[in-house]
A = this chain, B = another copy of it.
């Protein structure tokens, strides 16, 4: 019976295809992540790396997940930009290796500060501009202006909330989100 771990498992991280249970995990994370507007395969790559618990080469990722060379190249670069994995090269290794980031706060924080915050900010700006324009018209009813103001205020509020979140969450108020980390034990 073909086992999960090979004898010298250092040099092959996943030739051929995944075990069924591994595929389950990888796809589950992929599906989840897809809903947060990332690519499904980004989630699958991260999950694979996290599960394996060590750095894999692009080729290993490619064959484990059944992706093309180009796709892996794109995916790891994107994930790197989101601080979701790190690219490492051992002294005399001739290939990059990729390892999963396990600090969820770091990842979420980055997504919020780079993406969510930008969106909310631009909505707020549009609402502000709209408010100025509307005020210049002479015939916009008071209640309409009022609703417009309320929307803008809400946007400002959300913007602040996000800022507070990223600024404070690092010093973990959110203990549970540190759960993926390898703390005690080994090493």
Interface residues of A (CB under 8 A from B): 3-5, 19-22, 24-25, 27-29, 31-32, 35, 37, 50-53, 104, 116, 119-120, 122-123, 126-127, 129-131, 133-134, 137-141, 143-144, 147-148, 150-151, 153-154, 157, 161, 176-177, 179-180, 182, 185-186
Enumerate 7 A-B pairs (CB-CB under 8 Å) in ascending A order: A20-B133, A24-B129, A28-B130, A147-B180, A150-B180, A153-B179, A157-B179
Assess whether A123 is in contact with B28, with CB atoms less than 8 Å apart.
Answer: yes
> Mostly helix, strand, loop or mixed at chain A's interface?
helix
This chain's copy number in the assembly: 2
Instruction: A29-B123, A50-B147 are known; give 8 further A-B pairs, CB within 8 A.
Output: A3-B137, A5-B140, A24-B129, A25-B127, A31-B122, A32-B123, A51-B147, A153-B179
